[in-house]
Structure 1
């Protein structure tokens, strides 16, 4: 089965932690569209953190949209 995975990094070690949300339009094996969404936190210096993984997809209909802001 086809899969989708989204990894993120927070490369500035002295910046505040980031709170992020994402939205991603994916095409399923059954020819449907599915929007996957979620939120996550990234500590400073985090590298290549897996924030989403799913199966049953054969292609992406859009690039993932990820919006992050610092926790103050």
Structure 2
């Protein structure tokens, strides 16, 4: 469970009047066989386009660590949108961190 969800649940326990919005973006990434790829989908049809940032710690084939970062705009209906693709990586050192907000 990520920290945002934990904070939202804790907030609901302390302040039961707070509403938590459904997340509009779902992302997943993998690093193997020399490459890394991060894909995202807009999963909430009523949500506006989402402006997102990402950060991902990856392990290079040379034995170093590299953090890749970026931003993207994800329109409603987008599915399996490639947010990041790179080579020279053999594994991920962390899960990708993707933070989005509605862009009206």
Does the alignment reach a TM-score above 0.5? yes
Match of 2:95, SS state, is coil
- Decide which of 27, 37, 45 is 2:77's aligned counterpart: 45
Greater helix share, 1 or 2? Answer: 2
Structure 1: where are the runs of 5+ without partners? none
Mapped partners of 1:29, 1:71: distance in 2: 37
The correspondence of residues 26-65 of structure 1 with structure 2, limited to 5 A, is 26-65=58-97
Name the TM-score, length of structure 1 as normaliser.
0.95
Q: Normalising to structure 2: TM-score of the pair?
A: 0.67
Distance 1:45 1:12 in 2: 8
Count of aligned pairs between the two proteins: 72
The answer to which structure has the higher strand fraction is 1
Which segment drifts farther, 55-64 or 11-20? 11-20
1:45 Cα deviation after fit: 1.4
**Cα distance, 1:11 vs. partner?**
1.2
